Structure 1
Amino acid sequence: MKVTLFATCLVDMFQSDVGKATVELLERLGCEIDFPQTQVCCGQPAYNSGYVKESKDAMKKMIGTFEHAEYIVCPSGSCAYMFHEYQHVFKGDPIWEPKAKKLAAKTYELTQFIIEVLKVENVGACLEGKATYHTSCHMTRLLGVQKAPMTLLSKVKGLEFVELPGKEQCCGFGGTFSVKMAQISEQMVDEKVRHVEETDAEYVIGADAGCLMNIGGRINRQGKPIKVMHIAEILNSR
């Protein structure tokens, strides 16, 4: 099966290990990986800030870049959802709405793809330790991916899972929200970190690079001995 990887900006620029883990995991599951060099930002930061018109050029670029793909897989629920949002942005446009609908129909978040398309629940991962999982807002509430990460994590050999208190609460990242509303964002991520500490987890796992960068940054500043990992890295552990 040929899979086209939508890497996302944060993975490309800050968390390349997540991209590598995603590729290695999918290849181990029998996928052939295609990586279009022309992919750019999906337009989400500008779009969420209200610059809809200005974000459309980036969206059109991405639609063209991934037009050839059979399946598009993204290690980010937030960015995967943005591809689904394109069809609403271009609603009524006789050229771009049909293209956007086709893009949405073949775009999957990583764990969603493994469960729904590959029909795999146990990827053969192994990691000793206690872990908790942060459910990111876009992935859970908008993309609707809730069970897939939990199913895959439950099969990781040696991993003791503890549910995160207040798991439905935002970590305070919210893209440009953390910049525009820094003081509020700081209070939100502090609360998230306190909940993580309550679990006594060695690892806090997530599926969105932005959330993990926010939570991980706060944990690092506070000097806490908790490792922040993307779910792709967990599932690729051997």
Structure 2
Amino acid sequence: MPDHGPGSSHLTGQPHVALFATCLIDVFRPSAGFAALALLEEAGCRVTVPASQTCCGQPAYSGGDYAAALPTAKQNIELLEPFDYVVMPSGSCAAMLCQHYPKLLKGTWRERALDLSQRCYELTDFLTEVVQLPPRAHTPEASNVAYHDGCAGLRELGIAEQPRSLLKTQNNIEVVELQTQGVCCGFGGSFCARMPEISARMSDDKLDDISASGAATVVAGDMGCLLAMSGRASKRGLDLEFRHVAELLVADSDTTNESGSRD
């Protein structure tokens, strides 16, 4: 959507939200970004997708290259701090802005990062803690949906009940709880590239659990997790569908193939 710029939320009575779409969604699953946008607007927000947003800096930061992460963090702070809220359909990117920008920066920049962090939210957390989606007519209950908790969202932000609650109240979906709930899928950012054999084994353990649960659809709030699991499932010939939680919440009927790309 066009970038209308920050400000003027006091004139409309709507919270002005910057949707930080994330790199992986932009490149691999734009439909998840559009779904997040639709959900925020449905909840009564005025949403802007800042055209000059870029990577949150997590790859460089996680790899220890703090010098490379610094200018990215400062650029994002300057871009996003005028908005009432910043919402991200990704637990890992949200954790970067909320938890790690204040650790990375010093002085005045750290103060600005701390201020911004108070207004940054992962999507499902924002839709349960700050704004509310209007009630919907329930669709028939689905019992074959498994939810995977991404590590950063779960451990750094406490994202666990929020997506499950939304799926239940909005879509009448009671998710299948996995035996490996809370266990990493094997993605881990650059970990999957540096240690591919271990990463593949971790993905296999997760996929074996999903298959044993009887779930046909796997839902998560982080695109990295979905890409890791869907790629491994495709290699193994498993008939599983992988969806971002935002797509399921808007009842997106457009399906994805096993590799996570659009058909």
Note whether the superposition's TM-score is higher than 0.5: yes
What pairs up with 1:45-56 in 2 under 5 angstroms? 45-56=59-70
Residue of structure 2 in register with 1:79 after alignment: 93
Q: Counterpart in 2 of 1:96?
A: 109
* Structure with the larger RCO, 1 or 2 (CA within 8 Å, 6+ apart): 1
Output the CA distance in 1 between the equivalents of 2:58 and 2:136: 31
C-alpha offsets along residues 54-98 of structure 1, whole Å, 9 cap, x if unaligned? 2111111111110211111100000000001101111xx222011
Change (3 A) 1:157 1:86: closer
Aligned length: 236
Does structure 1 conserve the Cα–Cα contact (< 8 Å) formed by 2:21 and 2:89?
Answer: yes
Deviation of the 1:223 alpha carbon: 1.8
Matched-pair contact (CA < 8 Å) for 2:102–2:110: yes
Give the Å deviation of 1:200: 0.6
Shift of 1:160: 4.4
User: What TM-score do the two structures reach when normalised by structure 2?
Assistant: 0.85
The alpha-carbon deviation at position 47 of structure 1 amounts to 0.6
Query: What is the CA–CA distance in structure 2 between the aligned matches of 1:53 and 1:96, rounded to whole Å?
Result: 14
Aligned pair partner of 1:115 in 123, 128, 152:
128
The alignment's TM-score, normalised by the length of structure 1, stands at 0.94
Q: Which of 110, 131, 134 pairs up with 2:148? A: 134
Asked if the contact 1:29/1:123 (under 8 Å) is kept, the reply is: no
Deviation at 1:126, TM superposition (A): 3.9
SS at match of 1:73: strand
Structure 2 stretches of 5 or more lacking a match?
Answer: 1-13, 253-263
Mean Cα displacement is larger for which, 18-27 or 120-129? Answer: 120-129
The question of whether the paired residues in 2 share the 8 Å contact of 1:171 and 1:188 is answered with yes
Counterpart in the other structure of 1:7: 21
The Cα offsets for residues 21-53 of structure 1, whole Å up to 9 and x where unpaired, read as: 111111122211111111111110011011112
The alpha carbon displacement at 1:16 in A equals: 0.3
Q: Distance in 2 between matches of 1:127 and 1:68?
A: 42
Residue in 1 aligned with 2:82?
A: 68
Give the Cα separation in 1 of the matches to 2:136 and 2:217: 19
Residue 104 of structure 1 deviates from its aligned partner by 0.4
Q: Which has the higher strand share?
A: 1
Mapping of 1:158-173 within 5 angstroms?
Answer: 158-173=172-187
